Chains A and B, each alone.
Chain A
Amino acid sequence: QKEVEQDPGPLSVPEGAIVSLNCTYSNSAFQYFMWYRQYSRKGPELLMYTYSSGNKEDGRFTAQVDKSSKYISLFIRDSQPSDSATYLCAMSRGGAQKLVFGQGTRLTINP
């Protein structure tokens, strides 16, 4: 069983829709939770970062961590074609060398 599971998609939604991206994990020691966005033929860029449980909001993006269920989510409101990318979840129990990535979900927002 992988430590981090992420549905690879692809996921295709119309512009303006609310998008929900999810990851589940098995290691209860994870404390740091990240979402990266990766455009085609580019490197990943950090989108959201959360420590421990709870929600974090940044503009149209909300990251949610539920440690009791070992489940993290990224919500995108009012989705735009420019949000089309692969979204990778990542988590760590401490130390960047211990970062574990999900497989990535490919998202397409259709105008």
Chain B
Amino acid sequence: DVKVTQSSRYLVKRTGEKVFLECVQDMDHENMFWYRQDPGLGLRLIYFSYDVKMKEKGDIPEGYSVSREKKERFSLILESASTNQTSMYLCASLWWGAPPGELFFGEGSRLTVL
């Protein structure tokens, strides 16, 4: 079974802090994604990566950056956290040959910014 692991399930940070969210997948998938999930808004794509060191902006990249130094690991970085970044963050991976919707998600990282 594909496993996507988000190391931090719950985080509480202060405004202005730098935040790292880590995601690791164990199935050698080329594509990895970061979404945020908010009530009434569904899932919105922040960034995605289709290969090591490659990244593309999603729909809401402002205030975020990403890093993909190894195929299995995709990190989301909040350079200076703000209260409007309080949300559930979901990492997902996808094999390059799979249909576009066959995403495998991690369990999520719930971030609260005070």
A8 touches B101 (CB 8 A): no
A96 touches B94 (CB 8 A): yes
Complex Cα distance, B31 from A98, in Å, reads: 13
A6-35 interface bits toward B, Cβ cutoff 8 Å, 1 = contact, 0 = none: 101000000000000000000000001110
A28-44 interface bits toward B, Cβ cutoff 8 Å, 1 = contact, 0 = none: 00001110000001111
B101 interface neighbour in A6, A34, A43, A102, Cβ under 8 Å: A34
Q: Which of B34-54 contact A (CB under 8 A)?
A: 40-45, 48
A101 touches B108 (CB 8 A): no
Which are the 8 A-B pairs with shortest beta-carbon distances? A43-B105, A34-B101, A101-B42, A96-B100, A101-B43, A92-B100, A103-B42, A43-B107
Chain B residues within 8 Å of A, Cβ to Cβ: 4, 31, 33, 40-45, 48, 56, 58, 90, 92, 94, 99-108
